[in-house]
Amino acid sequence: MPDAPVITIDGPSGAGKGTIAHRLAETLGWHFLDSGALYRVTGQACLIEGVAWDNHAGVTDIARTLDVSFTSAPGGEVLVAYKGRDVSRAIRTEEGGRGASTVAAIPSVRTALLQRQREFAKPPGLVADGRDMGTVVFPQAELKIFLTATASERAERRYKQLIAKGESVSLPRLLEDIRERDARDSSREVSPLVPAEDAIVIDSSNLSIPDVFAQVMLKVKEKGLIQA
Ligand code: C5P
């Protein structure tokens, strides 16, 4: 188990986890684990290697030996590479999300990625973003946040993001995708998406990013993780 302090930020996609977790890691000067990216790269690697997402043994082999690297580009962007090939964009598509959540439901894939995730916990500390960071990967974490928002609010946020990128999307379709993914993530047998018993639950539906960040920072201070 890691000897560095860990803050976990779990919750469904679109609740603002990524933004909050990134900002927190930056503010504290701690390491950052985007665990969703590991599942996304696993799904993408299957496409590249010609392994079907429902081939459990094949996907598990891919996860076990996943040659993935994260590098920070100037401007804060994180580049994700598989076998040295940039997959940053490909893993963020809707297909990338589907692949991630399909392979993430395979128990042996989760086991294969467990140790790799724990290796991110190094001094001075780690902010870990995901679904099961506080329940399974870092159950001893100093602070556990579960950040959520209603499905319709998350669909609306995603819709605005995609429209801003010039993509044509349908809001009802997005809402349906989000509901389907939520159902898959919360009902799977291993590591379902549930708050840890000792997690602090924040509903961001009616909160701005600075409001959520302020609430999280308050908890960080209360836990003595930084000077008040
Ligand atoms: O967080 P992100 O949207 O990138 O995650 C993509 C998918 O990976 C999620 O829908 C979920 O199925 C899976 N995931 C997971 N456990 C994590 C992180 C992500 O099962 N810790």
pLDDT per residue over 142-192, tens digit each?
999 999 999 999 999 989 988 998 988 899 999 998 998 888 888 888 888
pLDDT of residue 2: 54
What are 171's two structure tokens? 């809001």
58-67: pLDDT as tens digits: 999 999 999 9
pLDDT at residue 74 tops 90:
no
One-letter identity of residue 173: R
Tell me, in angstroms, the distance from the centre of ligand 1 to residue 180's CA: 13
**Confidence label for 47 from pLDDT (cuts 50, 70 and 90):** very high
Check: CB of residue 216 under 8 Å from CB of residue 16. Answer: no
d(CA 46, CA 55): 10
The residue whose CA is least distant from atom 16 of ligand 1 is 131
The residue whose CA is least distant from atom 1 of ligand 1 is 36
d(CA 123, CA 143): 16
**Binding-site residues, ligand 1, Cβ < 6 A:** 13, 35-36, 39-40, 97, 100-101, 104, 130-132, 181, 185
Mean pLDDT for all residues in the chain: 93
| 13 CA: nearest ligand 1 atom | 3
pLDDT at residue 131 tops 90:
yes
- Residues of 120-154 as b/e, b for ≥16 C-beta within 10 angstroms? bbeeebbbbbbbbbbbbbbbebebbbbbbbbbebb
